[in-house]
Amino acid sequence: MKMTFRWYGGNDRVTLDQIRQIPGMTGIVSAVYDVAPGEVWSNGSILAIKNAANSHGLAFNVVESVPVHEEIKLWGPDAERLTDVYCENVRRLGKAGVDCICYNFMPVFDWFRTNLKNELPDGSNSLAYDEQVLRGIDPLGSDFSLPGWDESYTKSELKKLLERYGDLNEEGLWRNIGRFLKKVIPVAKKAGVKMAIHPDDPPWSIFGLPRIITNEDNLERFLKTVDEPENGLTFCTGSLGASPENDLPRMARKFAKRIHFAHLRNIAITGEGEFHEVAHPTECGSLDMYAIVKALVEGGFDGYVRPDHGRMIWGETGKGGYGLYDRALGATYLYGLFEGVQKTN
């Protein structure tokens, strides 16, 4: 296991000087943020991240994310060309020493929350989701704003995009992801890069759009689509764990060898389709973090780990889920779980 920390680059309030002081930290997880999805990343931008990390004693082996253009998910007229661009980014990253790329295949919306500042009883706050609230939201309405991960769509672009997805059902999305994987995985293999798809968050359809990276059967189907080690998973416990039907320790054990990246965090499920994020330890939420780590280790997991979303504590403000303090606490807790499980195995 290699412990890593997400870093959003020079504009991140959390600095590399701070990250390097977290015990057990080996590297950062980052991306090139100055180009739109579907463009080639410059070697200069990639190297700048690597040099910044290395000069702080940290590795840069993991990218999150190389975004998949919507045209690819829809497999529109420009999909082949955009997939070639994607492959070029995989090659460039491999050359720069990146060996794990996280990405997702969620139509239009990445992770989604209905409250970005949910007050917790102890005075901290975290991200929360409530399906009832979601049902009342019109993404094309004037008061709709995207939750922190993307502000780039205009209303008319969003409208067009949603219309284009109108006819695409889950099977259509499976077909398109298959086309994407068949081109990308052989390139990743040659480049020495493991691809790690991120599950859909939450792991069910939102706004009528299809979502397929959601449960054990679908993860299995996904892995079989191109049955190569380079076609792997990001095991995000907070995403998959939002559905009580997902037995996370069982899935962690079963897929361990194809899990290249683990996003470990806890959530509290408070009702049907309703949950909020909590501190990492098992006792704080609904997920058994010890059982998950044990299953990963015993299943033969040997990938990267990062603490995922933290709460905002001690008065910290900043990018929802990505403050310093609670993620740092999470990292040391997770480090301890791994140490305990590894030493007793």
Of the residues 308, 326, 333, 335, only one is catalytic, namely 308
Q: Is 280 a catalytic residue?
A: no
**Residue 12 binds ligand DNO, judged by CB under 6 A:** no
C-alpha of 280 from chain center = 16
Binding span for ligand DNO by CB under 6 A among 103-111, 176-184, 211-219, 284-292: 103-111
Of the residues 69, 276, 280, 309, only one is catalytic, namely 309
**Residue 104 binds ligand DNO, judged by CB under 6 A:** yes
As a whole number of angstroms, the distance between CA 138 and CA 106 comes to 18
Q: Which residue has the tokens 């990308």?
A: 184
> How many CB atoms are closer than 10 A to CB 224?
9
Least spacing, CB of residue 242 vs ligand DNO, in Å: 13
Interface positions, 123-142, toward ligand DNO (CB under 6 A): none
Q: Is 260 a catalytic residue?
A: no
Of the residues 322, 326, 333, 335, only one is catalytic, namely 322
Nearer residue to ligand DNO within complex by CB, 309 or 327: 309
Interface positions, 320-339, toward ligand DNO (CB under 6 A): 321
Interface positions, 267-326, toward ligand DNO (CB under 6 A): 309, 321
Question: Which amino acid does the sequence have at 334?
Answer: L
Nearer residue to ligand DNO within complex by CB, 101 or 341: 101
Tell me the chain's radius of gyration from C-alpha atoms: 19
Binding span for ligand DNO by CB under 6 A among 46-54, 96-104, 213-221, 336-344: 96-104
Task: Indicate which single residue of 8, 149, 153, 290 sits in contact with ligand DNO (rule: CB under 6 A).
Answer: 149
**Residue 102 binds ligand DNO, judged by CB under 6 A:** yes
Interface positions, 38-77, toward ligand DNO (CB under 6 A): 64-65
Nearer residue to ligand DNO within complex by CB, 64 or 71: 64
Quick check: bond before 30 cis, omega within 30?
no
Q: Are strands 100-103 and 274-277 parallel, antiparallel or unpaired?
A: unpaired
Of the residues 236, 276, 333, 335, only one is catalytic, namely 236
Task: Indicate which single residue of 60, 103, 180, 304 sits in contact with ligand DNO (rule: CB under 6 A).
Answer: 103
Q: Is 304 a catalytic residue?
A: no
Q: Given phi > 0 = left and psi -120 to 50 = alpha, else beta, which region is 224?
A: alpha
Least spacing, CB of residue 112 vs ligand DNO, in Å: 10
Asked if residues 233 and 188 have their Cβ atoms less than 8 Å apart, the reply is no
Three-class secondary structure of residue 26 per DSSP: strand
Q: Both tokens of residue 219?
A: 């993860």
Q: Is 276 a catalytic residue?
A: no
**Residue 198 binds ligand DNO, judged by CB under 6 A:** yes
Least spacing, CB of residue 340 vs ligand DNO, in Å: 26
Q: What secondary structure does DSSP assign to 103-160, as a single string? A: E---SS--S--SEEEEEPTTS-EEEEEEHHHHHT--TTSTT----SS-----HHHHHH
Nearer residue to ligand DNO within complex by CB, 139 or 341: 139
Q: Is 69 a catalytic residue?
A: no
Q: Both tokens of residue 96?
A: 């720069």
Of residues 87, 89, 70, 66, the one with CA closest to residue 79? 70
Of residues 248, 239, 307, the one with CA closest to residue 267? 239
Distance between start and end Cα atoms, the chain: 14
Binding span for ligand DNO by CB under 6 A among 102-110, 249-257, 290-298, 335-343: 102-110
Least spacing, CB of residue 90 vs ligand DNO, in Å: 14
As a whole number of angstroms, the distance between CA 14 and CA 34 comes to 18
Q: Is 102 a catalytic residue?
A: no
Q: Which residue has the tokens 């990492």?
A: 280
Binding site for ligand DNO (CB under 6 A): 64-65, 102-104, 110-111, 149, 198, 263, 309, 321
Active centre residues (catalytic): 198, 236, 263, 308-309, 322
